Amino acid sequence: MRFVLRRLGFFVLTLWVALTLNFLLPRMMPGNPALAVIGKFRGGISPQAVKVLEAQFGVGSHQSLVSQYFSYLGNVATFKFGSSLTTQPGASVGRIVLDAIPWTLGLVGVTTVLAFVLGTGIGIVAAWRRGGRLDSIMPPLFVIMTVIPYFWLGLVLILVFGVKLKWLPYFFSYNYTLTPGFTPSFIGNVAEHAILPAFTLLITTIGTWILTMRNTMITTLAEDYVRMARAKGLPGYRIMLDYAARNAILPNLTGFAMSLGFVVGGAILIEVVFNYQGVGYMLLQAVNNLDYPLMQALFLLISVAVLVAILLSDIATAVLDPRTRGAK
Amino acid sequence: MAMLRAPRGPGEPGSGTEPGQLTPLVIPGAGGLPTGLPLAGRGGIAGARALRRMARAITSNRKATAGMVLLVFFILVGLFPGVIAHDDPNAETYRRFMGLSLHHLLGTTALGQDMFAQVVWGARPVLLIAFGVGVGATVIAMLIGVASAYLGGVWDGGLSVITDVLLVIPLFPLLIVIGSYLHGAGTLVMIAVITATGWSYTARQLRAQALSLRNRDFLEAARVRGERSLYIIVVEIIPTMTSLIVASFLTNALYAVLFSSSLQFIGLGDPSVTSWGTMLYWAQNNEAFQVAPLWIIVPGLCIVSLGAAFALLNYAFDEIGNPALRPVRSMRGNRVKRPG
Amino acid sequence: MSSAPGNGVLFPAVPGHSAGAVLQVRDLSVEYAMDRGTVLAVDQVSFDLDPGEFIGIVGESGCGKSTLLFAIAKLLMPPAAITGGSVIFKGRDMVGLTDKQLAMVRWKDLSVVMQSAMNALNPVKSIGAQFSDAMRAHGVTGKAEIAGRSAEVLRMVGIDPLHLKSYPHQLSGGMRQRSMIAMAMLFTPELVIMDEPTSALDVVAQRSLMVQIKELQEELGFAVIFVTHDMSLVSHFSDRLMVMYAGQVAELGATRRVFDSPLHPYSIGLLDAFPSIRGPRVPLTGIPGSPPDLARIPVGCRFAARCPKVMARCTEEYPELYRVDGTLVRCFLHAEGGAGRD
């Protein structure tokens, strides 16, 4: 229990840091970004939006930094993120973000879990069957797989399967001439559009899981309790799963959480390459259009999502490893 | 100040041997570690030995050799691009989208630049960023990790929390946000930003190793001699961690290559600098798919190759440090010659 | 051709084995494939074990005793492999059998106790779960049966059965070790192999654990192979003592004989290292030098470089095991006794 409480405290602390970073960054940059925005949109922003901007960036405000900070925190707590400056001008940022979330969750969430499960499984089996030529070739192969930039693989796949072979669509999350709805044809279309981006994400992330699981398994297989399990005459699969994998996966769960930050980064790039209108794509649009309110909200969302995922994996570790409960 | 535990002699409880027990009757010969008062700068000697061992390990491990060859190749390209490619990469002198020919080994871009020259000259900024971040992030990670382990107590707690928080905040979105505020980051700024956000990963590893070293005999001897903490840290601890420091450099360099290319690809880099990432940015914005697929393929392959060089070296170091990970050899044909 | 009853098709019988012995090890050799060359860790070791007999195997670190133990139990892992000889257990040669074939024998007839229970017990499973998966692997499936037997063996070693629910890290060192021994008793095997089970404990716990083991042995009648570097401890409990050096048997005989009047210069050196509490004060002598590098085995007797009684012959010829009364010694000093095996 104490373990979980400590992680919860860490979660709150990091959340606070993310919030504060979001608040401080624009104020620390050379020149005030808000002024740049206002200048760019000369007359194109509603006075209301200007006011929000000023509050968010401290332009021409007579409040002290501290009180600006607290009103910022208050706004965040009540989900007042202001209006977007460019995407459907005047639309609430909250609305835009909410629309984008399911796409990202679907694509990235499902693919990441799949990559982790598959990768861990392959890693377990790879460590169990060591020796032979496969063992010397495979790891370097997977190492190289992990250094492929997400976006480049996406581009290459588009080149091959989208442009040259014309097998799969590669633009947007569905054919925009169709009307969205829960019809089978629409869902089928969505699935079709998701294949290439999902495949890209899968290939680039699975290598890491395979390698780390294999390495921890190999170390675990050398442990005395695995030898003991053999001595007891337990069947092979039970030793592999119950004794080796269950112990080997523990450090990987923490690693999974740690690397979620990278996965998110990769997801952003993939959404950009495929014009998949999820959270990452919106973030980049916001960046390119200097749509700071949208950008800040998205950054917060991403941070919170990662933190929550990490908290969940910590809880999973507590459940799976009896040593973390109770003592310490 | 951290208290180093006094090491236990044989026969004392907790030392692993009990009185009357058969302690190893071996008086250490050439194979064992020297006993007696450790020499000053023993960490330095260990460091030199470690470097020599590393050199030998690199040549014997195939992955390491491959990685080293690739890395050296790219360094040479980065140092002498003019020797290899004769065109100015930024000069828009040719026709657009020319095909492959002897003059233009890779054709030309949408702006009439020679693609081969771009690829060759593009290596330099990438290498600069890789080495800049590799060294910078490692130095910061070292300082914070070792200080945290050595100082202990409140310092350790505080620095660890900072490290962990930075570790957990999603880096890429943060880089995007910072990048957007900075409007097109040049090479130096990119190095600074990636370094400032990326040191936390290796800091953790270095701290863990420094912690395990804290109680070793030769450090205790240095303290007894009255050396100052800074001396101990710099002269004794750090050289012993040589292999981990090298691994840290490789990891940071690798991520610098990938992150910087990604940032450049989305247009947050300096568009006037020719590097592989910016090439891909221009490629995507200029219909390269239809007309010049090489524009997409080649710079990406270069990124993969350079990244692979760092990753292979890193992986090989992993194997060298942990022999259990090495490929398992078979027994056949290797029997011992025994007397008749 | 005699074959043990109930053999069936799976286990080919070995002709000519003496019907009494529970274990016969013949010329067993183990090699490690290392980067710097092949290391001969165990060199043609042979001995017999009768039912209920307690044999102690002693030697310094690196002499091959643990490797020998794991070879007998077929628990070696690459890069180690058995490269010669046979291990005949209850009439079957274990060396050629696969893990699947061995599973029938494992734990039911032959169990293992390892050095550190903290490392030998699965940290994420409760004690009870580790007992029950051993039983279920051998066909015992009734929950009541499993619970009953688990509680019974725990009581045998003096642990309250409510600890079946505990995890290894929740028990004390001594309790962990004893629960490992209890686990080894689950099927009342004929042979229990122990690899330095007392080394991780303090002196008092060591003694009480040894007494416990001896009591169990007398009550249940299993044979024991006990590997340790603590000669004085094991000599109080063993019937026979085997001294190993550099992968070979240096001396093998009845405990009292070997302990009171050792024949091999190495055994003499080992015993001289123990000051006697009651005897006169003598200067402690160690054995200078270090064991040979097993990747480059020297010509002649492996102990020659450190032997105070070395002769010219020792660096030229390879000594066999010579019989002196009931003891086997690998030393030219006793070559008149005639080469022979037990």
Query: Does the predicted interface ipTM exceed a cut of 0.90?
Result: no
Angle at A283 between CA A66 and CA A22, to 5 degrees: 15
State residue C334's pLDDT score.
84
- In sequence order, the β-bridge partners of residue C30 are C42, C82
Rounded Cα gap, residues A142 and B289, in angstroms: 27
Q: Answer yes or no: is pLDDT of A213 > 70.
A: yes
Residue C248: what residue type?
Q
On whether any CB of chain B is under 8 Å from the CB of A141, the answer is no
A&C contacts, CB < 8 Å: 85
**What residues contact A244, with CB distance under 8 A and at least 6 apart?**
A124, A127, A128, A217, A220, A221, A226
- In sequence order, the β-bridge partners of residue C329 are C251, C322
Rounded Cα gap, residues A98 and A101, in angstroms: 5
Rounded Cα gap, residues A183 and A187, in angstroms: 6
Confidence of residue B27 (pLDDT cuts 50, 70, 90): very low
pLDDT for C179-228, tens place per residue? 999 999 999 999 999 998 888 788 888 888 899 899 999 999 999 999 99
Flag if C231 and B22 touch (Cβ within 8 Å): yes
Residue A185: what residue type?
S
Flag if B170 and A265 touch (Cβ within 8 Å): yes
Q: C317 to chain B: nearest residue by CA?
A: B339
Rounded Cα gap, residues A257 and A307, in angstroms: 9
State residue B16's pLDDT score.
33
Closest CB to B262 among A147, A151, A156: A151
CB C295 within 8 A of CB C301: no
Flag if A232 and C106 touch (Cβ within 8 Å): yes
Confidence of residue B249 (pLDDT cuts 50, 70, 90): very high
pLDDT for C108-122, tens place per residue? 899 999 988 888 999
CB C31 within 8 A of CB C38: yes
Residue A218: what residue type?
I
Closest CB to A232 among C115, C137, C167: C137
Flag if C73 and A231 touch (Cβ within 8 Å): yes
CB B336 within 8 A of CB B329: no
On whether any CB of chain C is under 8 Å from the CB of A30, the answer is no
pLDDT for B125-144, tens place per residue? 899 999 999 999 999 998 88
Q: What is the mean pLDDT of residues C239-243?
A: 93
User: Which of B251, B247, B273, B248 has the alpha carbon at shortest distance from B261?
Assistant: B273
DSSP C274: S
Rounded Cα gap, residues A268 and A279, in angstroms: 8
Q: Answer yes or no: is pLDDT of B18 > 50.
A: no
CA distances from B142 to A64, B149, B237, B316 (A): 38, 10, 11, 22
Q: B267 to chain A: nearest residue by CA?
A: A288
Closest CB to A25 among B181, B201, B308: B181
Rounded Cα gap, residues A135 and A129, in angstroms: 8
**What does A259-275 look like in DSSP terms, one character per residue?**
HHHHHHHHHHHHHHHHT
Cα-to-chain-centroid distance, residue A163: 28
Closest CB to A231 among C75, C119, C126: C75
State residue B46's pLDDT score.
59
Q: What is the mean pLDDT of residues A106-113?
A: 84
Flag if C124 and A321 touch (Cβ within 8 Å): yes
Residue A321: its chain C contacts at CB < 8 A?
A: 123-124
Confidence of residue A134 (pLDDT cuts 50, 70, 90): low
Rounded Cα gap, residues A74 and B47, in angstroms: 54
Q: What is the mean pLDDT of residues A200-204?
A: 87
Task: Average the pLDDT over each of B77-91, B212-226, C326-340 and give the range with the smallest value.
Answer: B212-226
Share of chain B above pLDDT 90, in %: 9
Residue A135: its chain B contacts at CB < 8 A?
A: 327-328
Q: C286 to chain B: nearest residue by CA?
A: B25
Q: C189 to chain A: nearest residue by CA?
A: A232
Flag if C202 and B13 touch (Cβ within 8 Å): yes
Confidence of residue C30 (pLDDT cuts 50, 70, 90): very high
State residue C332's pLDDT score.
87
**What does C159-201 look like in DSSP terms, one character per residue?**
--GGGGG--GGGS-HHHHHHHHHHHHTTT--SEEEEESTTTTS
Residue B56: its chain C contacts at CB < 8 A?
A: none
On whether any CB of chain B is under 8 Å from the CB of C33, the answer is yes
Q: Answer yes or no: is pLDDT of B336 > 50.
A: no
Q: What is the mean pLDDT of residues B316-326?
A: 67
Closest CB to A233 among C124, C138, C170: C138
Cα-to-chain-centroid distance, residue A323: 29
Share of chain A above pLDDT 70, in %: 79
Flag if C137 and A234 touch (Cβ within 8 Å): yes
Closest CB to A322 among C104, C133, C167: C167
Q: Answer yes or no: is pLDDT of C17 > 70.
A: no
Q: What is the mean pLDDT of residues C79-89?
A: 90
pLDDT for B254-303, tens place per residue? 989 998 898 888 888 777 788 898 888 888 887 777 777 888 888 899 99
State residue B30's pLDDT score.
29
Closest CB to B25 among C43, C232, C286: C286
Q: C115 to chain A: nearest residue by CA?
A: A224
CB C232 within 8 A of CB C298: no
Flag if A232 and C121 touch (Cβ within 8 Å): no
CB C121 within 8 A of CB C176: yes
Flag if B325 and A218 touch (Cβ within 8 Å): yes
The CB-side HSE value for B152 (13 A sphere, CA atoms) comes to: 11
Q: Is A62 exposed, middle or buried (0-12, 13-18, 19+ CB in 10 A)?
A: exposed
- Report which listed range, C1-15, C207-221, C274-288, is most confident: C207-221
CA distances from C173 to A104, B2, C202 (A): 51, 29, 9
State residue C60's pLDDT score.
84
**Structural tokens at position A49:** 């939006």
Rounded Cα gap, residues B124 and A94, in angstroms: 43
Closest CB to B165 among A13, A136, A139: A13
Closest CB to C61 among B24, B29, B329: B24
State residue C282's pLDDT score.
67
Q: How far is B323 from chain C (nearest CA, A)?
A: 10
State residue A62's pLDDT score.
60
3-state secondary structure of A142: helix
Other beta carbons less than 10 A from residue B279's beta carbon: 28
State residue A22's pLDDT score.
80
Q: A311 to chain B: nearest residue by CA?
A: B168
User: Which of B301, B330, B239 has the alpha carbon at shortest distance from B70?
Assistant: B301
Q: What is the mean pLDDT of residues C272-283?
A: 68
Confidence of residue B181 (pLDDT cuts 50, 70, 90): confident
Q: Which of residues 107-166 of C touch B (CB under 8 A)?
A: none
Flag if C107 and A232 touch (Cβ within 8 Å): yes
Q: Answer yes or no: is pLDDT of B146 > 70.
A: yes
State residue B15's pLDDT score.
33
Q: Answer yes or no: is pLDDT of C7 > 80.
A: no
State residue B13's pLDDT score.
34
Q: How far is C111 from chain A (nearest CA, A)?
A: 7
Rounded Cα gap, residues A198 and B56, in angstroms: 43
On whether any CB of chain C is under 8 Å from the CB of A39, the answer is no
Average pLDDT of chain B, as a whole number: 73
Confidence of residue A268 (pLDDT cuts 50, 70, 90): confident
Q: What are phi and psi of C188, to 5 degrees?
A: 45, 70
Share of chain A above pLDDT 90, in %: 2
Q: How many residues does chain B have?
A: 340
Q: What are phi and psi of C56, to 5 degrees?
A: -105, 135
Helix A150-157, helix B242-265: angle, nearest 10? 50
Q: Answer yes or no: is pLDDT of A144 > 50.
A: yes
Flag if C167 and A323 touch (Cβ within 8 Å): yes
Chain B residue set in contact with C, beta carbons under 8 Å: 13, 18-22, 24-29, 31-32, 328-331, 334-336, 338-339
Closest CB to A227 among C75, C78, C111: C75
pLDDT for A178-193, tens place per residue? 777 777 777 778 888 8
B&C contacts, CB < 8 Å: 71
Q: How many helices (H) and strands (E) does chain C have?
A: 10, 12
A&B contacts, CB < 8 Å: 156
Confidence of residue C19 (pLDDT cuts 50, 70, 90): low
pLDDT, greater one: A214 or A3: A214
CA distances from A15 to A163, A253, C96 (A): 43, 21, 61
State residue B254's pLDDT score.
92
Flag if B311 and A272 touch (Cβ within 8 Å): no
Rounded Cα gap, residues A296 and A94, in angstroms: 11
Q: A322 to chain C: nearest residue by CA?
A: C124
Q: B311 to chain A: nearest residue by CA?
A: A143
State residue A138's pLDDT score.
73
Residue of A147, A204, A298 for testing the chain B interface, max B β-carbons within 10 Å: A147
Residue B11: its chain C contacts at CB < 8 A?
A: none
Average pLDDT of chain A, as a whole number: 78
- Report which listed range, B13-17, C56-60, C89-93, is most confident: C56-60
Flag if C286 and B29 touch (Cβ within 8 Å): no
Q: Answer yes or no: is pLDDT of C270 > 50.
A: yes
Residue of C38, C196, C268, C306 for testing the chain B interface, max B β-carbons within 10 Å: C38
State residue A59's pLDDT score.
58
Rounded Cα gap, residues B229 and B214, in angstroms: 12
Q: Which of residues 75-94 of C touch B (CB under 8 A)?
A: 78-79, 81, 83
